[in-house]
């Protein structure tokens, strides 16, 4: 009897523990699973038919003859020059294109969704709730500029991404890197000298607590920090392999991570099926990163011919930004940052020439930081590629080509499906442009007027034709 009671208590305890474990299991459901769960509850997918549009397909081909494009749910189901019959039910929307251009949503391959509206001090020391709400408002503006996807190369954007994916706030798809991983004194180390020395294993600095930048000074520390970003949903990993303009204590000429540290990051990322991209300007920093297995170089503005050849031969991606002159002038004359900007800026044009000369796989991005005004010129920065490329080449870079870079995330791609193209079976991120952007690239610089319909994931976020 006594034995039986004890057994009863034990089994009830066991049942409780099991329940707790199960509950923890359920509540720790990942954001991605949660969104999928909601997706399966959706009713009949809505249907949108674009009639009489000329298609820029995202690959640089000439515009199609007048065509019809059927979107069902979040997919482009059918493209045809012949009429496409649809049930004209309540769930079907017909958009009369009137011969306008239908093109893929734009992709910015170098964006920092959390670092547009705040100034540097607010971004790190400001209230987290405020910073997230400001980033949400900016994300909506980003989508309304026609940017349906961004590759976020540093910043605590996981919560913002989740809120966008759940439909809480309109915004682009985000391929997040999470925190920038940097060495002590490297680009991304925004601490004050008064915060030195760091105690290994001691309390984290503010920028680390909020997940903006993480310090790592050994291969082991790099592995921890990389895996933490992956655990939070990073689709790729960003390290700074050399000095940067905006950081107070990182000389431009400095190479930061050792080859062993870079290799540790690459191994950890590749074990998760994804890749490492690095911020690097100089030949030394770029070459070391490539030897370590890095798949993408951000900026590269101080590279030489030999480095350009190496990038081309290894099939490494070069993520370039035609940084506007205003950005350089924004750094106060006489400041360390201005001196560094003056060193880097002349390299921008030279690097574009090298990228073309050696046919390097080139992605396009803006790298807007700490300026809402500059962010409003996101499309204008794309249009400024006309210095080196035809309009169709520039548009293909910001759509189909950028999407190829995004696909390097493999199974860590948060949005499986084809992006950046108008093709049957691709995800329905589409812009209807009032005019022909392959004839006049400046149309993308004026999204309020030019983009008459903006669709992301099959949902219409803007349609000024139906008014």
Question: Cα dist. 219→204, 208, 266, 337 in Å?
Answer: 18, 18, 11, 29
Q: Return the number of the residue (265 or 453) whose C-beta is nearest Zn ion.
A: 265
Q: Answer yes or no whether residue 457 interacts with Zn ion by CB under 5 A.
A: no
Nearest distance, CB of residue 364 and Zn ion, angstroms: 13
| Three-state secondary structure of 320-380 | ECCCCHHHHHHCCCCCHHHHHHHHHCHHHHHHHHHHHHCCCCEEECCCCCCCHHHHCCHHH
Q: Return the number of the residue (217 or 367) whose C-beta is nearest Zn ion.
A: 367
Residues in contact with Zn ion, total (CB under 5 A)?
1
* Element (DSSP H or E) covering residue 140: helix 128-144
Chosen residue from 217, 367, 429, 457 binding Zn ion by CB under 5 A: 367
Q: Return the number of the residue (151 or 225) whose C-beta is nearest Zn ion.
A: 151
Nearest distance, CB of residue 330 and Zn ion, angstroms: 15
Nearest distance, CB of residue 122 and Zn ion, angstroms: 17
Interacting stretch for Zn ion, rule CB under 5 A, among 95-103, 226-234, 341-349, 359-367?
359-367
Interacting stretch for Zn ion, rule CB under 5 A, among 240-248, 309-317, 364-372, 382-390?
364-372
Interacting stretch for Zn ion, rule CB under 5 A, among 116-124, 171-179, 366-374, 448-456?
366-374
Largest CA distance in the chain: 90
Q: Return the number of the residue (146 or 365) whose C-beta is nearest Zn ion.
A: 365
Q: Return the number of the residue (221 or 367) whose C-beta is nearest Zn ion.
A: 367
Q: Return the number of the residue (67 or 185) whose C-beta is nearest Zn ion.
A: 185
At 210, list the tokens.
């909020």
Nearest distance, CB of residue 118 and Zn ion, angstroms: 15
At 327, list the tokens.
């950005």
Assess contact for 307 and 283: CB atoms under 8 A: yes
Nearest distance, CB of residue 112 and Zn ion, angstroms: 6
Q: Closest-CB residue for Zn ion?
A: 367
Q: Is 211 left (phi over 0), alpha (psi -120 to 50) or beta?
A: left
Nearest distance, CB of residue 296 and Zn ion, angstroms: 13
Torsion of CA 178, 181, 184, 188, to 10 degrees: -60
At 66, list the tokens.
């007048």
Q: Return the number of the residue (95 or 296) whose C-beta is nearest Zn ion.
A: 296
80, with CB counted inside 10 A (0-12, 13-18, 19+), is exposed
Integer Cα distance of 118 and 130 in angstroms: 9
Nearest distance, CB of residue 116 and Zn ion, angstroms: 11
Residues forming the site for Zn ion (CB under 5 A): 367
């Amino acid at each position: 009897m006594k034995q039986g009671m004890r057994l009863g208590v034990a089994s009830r305890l066991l049942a409780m523990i099991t329940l707790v474990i199960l509950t923890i299991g359920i509540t720790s459901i990942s954001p991605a699973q949660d969104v999928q769960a909601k997706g399966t509850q959706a009713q009949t997918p809505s249907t949108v038919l674009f009639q009489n549009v000329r298609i820029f397909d995202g690959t640089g081909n000439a515009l199609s003859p007048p065509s019809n494009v059927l979107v069902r749910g979040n997919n482009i189901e059918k493209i045809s020059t012949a009429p496409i019959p649809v049930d004209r039910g309540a769930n079907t929307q017909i958009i009369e294109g009137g011969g306008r251009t239908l093109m893929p949503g734009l992709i910015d391959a170098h964006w920092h969704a959390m670092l547009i509206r705040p100034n540097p001090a607010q971004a790190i020391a400001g209230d987290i709730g405020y910073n997230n709400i400001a980033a949400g408002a900016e994300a909506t503006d980003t989508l309304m500029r026609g940017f349906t996807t961004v590759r976020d190369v540093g910043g605590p954007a996981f919560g913002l991404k989740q809120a966008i994916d759940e439909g809480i706030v309109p915004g682009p798809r985000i391929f997040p890197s999470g925190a920038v991983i940097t060495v002590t004194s490297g680009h991304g180390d925004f601490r004050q000298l008064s915060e030195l020395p760091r105690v290994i294993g001691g309390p984290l600095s503010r920028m680390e607590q909020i997940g903006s930048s993480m310090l790592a000074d050994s291969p082991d520390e790099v592995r921890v920090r990389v895996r933490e970003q992956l655990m939070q949903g990073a689709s790729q990993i960003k390290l700074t392999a050399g000095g940067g303009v905006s950081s107070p204590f990182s000389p431009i000429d400095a190479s930061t991570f050792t080859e062993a540290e870079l290799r540790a990051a690459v191994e950890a990322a590749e074990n998760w099926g994804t890749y490492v991209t690095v911020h690097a300007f100089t030949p030394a920093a770029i070459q070391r990163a490539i030897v370590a297995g890095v798949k993408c170089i951000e900026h590269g503005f101080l590279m030489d011919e030999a480095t350009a050849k190496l990038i081309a031969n290894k099939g490494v991606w070069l993520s370039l930004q035609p940084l506007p002159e205003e950005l350089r002038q924004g750094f106060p004359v006489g400041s360390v940052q201005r001196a560094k900007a003056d060193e880097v800026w002349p390299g921008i044009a030279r690097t574009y020439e090298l990228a073309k000369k050696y046919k390097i796989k080139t992605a396009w991005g803006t790298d807007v930081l700490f300026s809402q005004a500059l962010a409003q010129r996101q499309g204008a920065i794309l249009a400024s590629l006309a210095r080196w490329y035809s309009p169709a080449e520039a548009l293909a870079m910001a759509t189909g080509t950028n999407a190829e870079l995004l696909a390097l995330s493999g199974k860590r791609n948060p949005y499986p499906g084809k992006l950046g193209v108008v093709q049957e079976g691709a995800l329905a991120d589409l812009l209807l442009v009032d005019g022909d952007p392959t004839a006049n690239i400046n149309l993308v610089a004026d999204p309020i007027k030019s983009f008459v319909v903006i669709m992301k994931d099959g949902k219409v976020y803007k349609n000024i034709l139906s008014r």
